[in-house]
Structure 1
Amino acid sequence: MRPTELIIQLADLESKTLQLMAAYAQLKKEHQELSQENESLRENLRQKTEENKVLRKKSDKMENNFQNSQKITKLVKSIQADTQDTAGLKEKLDEYIQEITKCISYLSQ
């Protein structure tokens, strides 16, 4: 091989090496950016999962309270049907209202 051919091949090899190094640097930068985005998304997912747990607990408490309210309503209706004494009925209703107030206070905490 002639020296000029070797110089041309060497220059070509150097050019390709520089291109590979530039491509490597670009891919490395993209990898870092994607890793940061991935970590951010994982953290966001953790937060949303925790929020979901909290909301689910609140929902369960509210559902339980609603079921208790329905039971109280049925009980009041049965007392109304069975009791002609309005004073006793008023006293029972006051007790139920106090119980409902306690439930609402508990849920608002």
Structure 2
Amino acid sequence: MLSEFQLFALMDDLERKVNLLVGINADARRRITQLELDKAALEEKIQEQQAQLKQLQKKAGESPQIFLKPKDFGKIVQNNLTDTVNSAEIKQKLDEYIREIDRCIAHLSSLS
């Protein structure tokens, strides 16, 4: 059988553990509340980004699609070239066009 002193020591230990658990519970509840607020903010941000995506898709659908067929490129190059243009300038122009196309592809890839 336990003495009165041992009983009080066990009660004090139990009270300390209960207070510790109450503190842990309060911290967990605060953390849950904060996480729910963060989740709501992120869901709102997702909704905004989805709305922006829809607007951009709509804008992209409305913009005129001016894509030339490959057979038309030869005509354009032939019409734009004059006798005074040398091959270095042609290569430079082609490199500029290729870089611009790469930028367009990268931009379109980032939208999806």
Q: TM-score range by the shorter chain?
A: 0.5 to 0.7
User: Which amino acid in structure 1 is aligned with residue 46 of structure 2?
Assistant: L
Aligned pairs (5 A) from 1:28-107 = 28-62=29-63, 65-67=64-66
Q: CA deviation digits over 1:24-67, x for unaligned, max 9?
A: 000000000000000000000001001100001101111xx133
**Structure 2: distance between partners of 1:33 and 1:16:** 26
Q: Which runs of 5+ in 1 are unaligned?
A: 75-109
Q: Which runs of 5+ in 2 are unaligned?
A: 73-112
Q: Which has the higher helix share?
A: 1
Task: Indicate the structure (1 or 2) with the bigger Cα radius of gyration.
Answer: 1
User: Which amino acid in structure 2 is aligned with residue 50 of structure 1?
Assistant: A
SS of alignment partner, residue 66 of structure 1 = coil
Normalised by the length of structure 1, the TM-score is 0.59
Higher RCO (CA 8 Å, separation ≥ 6 residues):
2
Aligned pairs (5 A) from 1:8-19 = 8-19=9-20
